[in-house]
């Protein structure tokens, strides 16, 4: 009888660990990374004007923070919608006071694109993939890229983080996540969209979540004009705070 029970337990464990493409999503104890990133991205969500998924009345809501772009797809009864949010934070030269300015562009996605996105999500079984701290062998670091997935179906909300899947070694889930992101970017034509976005950024230098600082080549006159504009913005910001 004991041997029969043991066989049943093993069979159940095998079924629970089954995942996309025959890979297994092996889990381990939480190390508390989610709490830190949850608070960080809750603040960032407000900055970029994204909806609070936990408070949303939509029956289904999926959001992926993919470094320089935020991808959303949602369903509310029979209606399907989605959006892409491109954003950057202004980077200030040494010696200047921070402006805390963000440049954000939000584009709505048509229903056909949303259907394709949902297909990609299902194809790679991303909703079944646990957060990285539950995946055996997934390492974390201080630089690189942090990918965040928020997912809600009815009242069941999940927040998952994945640090730089490209550097993970012998972690099947990392390979799946990379393929998932690559296919998503093709579906939404991100390569072309990002060209228009970066061409319209009004800042001299900027960051968008990672450790990389990007700058545009400007003349001395343009640099001085941008500095004057930053000073004007700071004055208006302080005046607004005083009025409040």
| Tens-place pLDDT, residues 177-210 | 999 999 999 999 999 999 999 999 999 999 987 7
| pLDDT score of 238 more than 90 | no
Mean pLDDT of 7-14: 37
CB-CB contact of 132 with 26 (8 Å):
no
- What H or E segment, with its residue span, contains residue 72? strand 69-76
The size of the chain, in residues, is 244
Nearest to 159 by CA among 145, 147, 144: 147
CB-CB contact of 131 with 161 (8 Å):
yes
Tell me the pLDDT of the chain averaged across its residues: 86
| Residue 243 belongs to a domain | no
CA-based radius of gyration for the chain:
21
Query: What pLDDT is stored for residue 18 in this prediction?
Result: 40
| Residue 220 belongs to a domain | yes
3-state secondary structure of 109: strand
Mean pLDDT of 137-149: 91
- Among 28-32, 116-120, 142-146, the range of highest mean pLDDT: 116-120
Query: What pLDDT is stored for residue 1 in this prediction?
Result: 46
b/e map 26-45, b = 16+ CB within 10 Å: beeeeeebbeebeeebeebb
pLDDT tens sequence across 54-89? 999 999 999 999 988 999 999 998 899 999 999 999
3-state secondary structure of 51: coil
pLDDT band at 22 (very low <50, low <70, confident <90, very high): very low
DSSP annotation of 95 = T
Query: What pLDDT is stored for residue 212 in this prediction?
Result: 85
How far apart are the C-alpha atoms of 158 and 155, rounded to whole Å? 10
Q: What percent of the chain has pLDDT over 70?
A: 85
Structure tokens at 115: 């259907």
pLDDT band at 52 (very low <50, low <70, confident <90, very high): very high
| pLDDT score of 33 more than 60 | no
| pLDDT score of 4 more than 50 | no
Q: Residue 232 sits in which domain range?
A: 2-238
| pLDDT score of 152 more than 60 | yes
Q: What is the three-state SS of 173-242? A: HHHHHHHHHHHHHHHCCHHHHHHHHHHHCCCCEEECCCCCCEECCCCHHHHHHHHHHHHHHHHHHHHHHH
Mean pLDDT of 29-45: 77
Query: What pLDDT is stored for residue 142 in this prediction?
Result: 81
pLDDT band at 242 (very low <50, low <70, confident <90, very high): low
User: Residue 71 contacts by C-beta under 8 Å, 6 or more apart in sequence?
Assistant: 63, 64, 82, 83, 84, 117, 184, 188
| Residue 244 belongs to a domain | no
| Residue 17 belongs to a domain | yes
Place of tokens 């390979």: 175
Total domain count, the chain = 1
């Amino acid at each position: 009888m004991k041997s029969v029970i043991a066989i049943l337990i093993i069979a159940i464990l095998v079924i629970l660990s089954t995942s996309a493409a025959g890979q297994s999503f092996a889990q381990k104890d939480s190390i508390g990374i989610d709490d830190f990133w949850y608070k960080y991205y809750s603040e960032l969500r407000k900055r970029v004007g994204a909806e609070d998924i936990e408070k949303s009345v939509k029956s289904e809501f999926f959001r992926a923070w993919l470094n320089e772009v935020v991808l959303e797809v949602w369903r509310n009864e029979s209606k399907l919608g989605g959006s892409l949010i491109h954003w950057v934070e202004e980077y200030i030269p040494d010696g200047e006071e921070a402006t805390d300015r963000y440049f954000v562009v939000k584009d709505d996605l048509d229903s056909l694109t949303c259907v394709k996105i949902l297909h990609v999500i299902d194809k790679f079984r991303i909703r079944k993939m646990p957060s990285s701290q539950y995946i055996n062998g997934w390492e974390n670091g201080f630089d690189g890229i942090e990918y965040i997935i928020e997912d809600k179906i009815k009242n069941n909300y999940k927040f998952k983080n994945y640090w730089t899947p490209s550097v993970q070694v012998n972690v099947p889930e990392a390979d799946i996540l990379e393929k998932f992101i690559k296919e998503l970017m093709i579906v939404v034509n991100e390569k072309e969209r990002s060209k228009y976005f970066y061409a319209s950024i009004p800042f001299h230098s900027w960051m968008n979540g990672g450790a990389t600082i990007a700058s545009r080549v400007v003349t001395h006159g343009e640099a001085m004009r941008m500095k004057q504009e930053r000073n004007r913005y700071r004055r208006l910001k302080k005046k607004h705070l005083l009025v409040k």
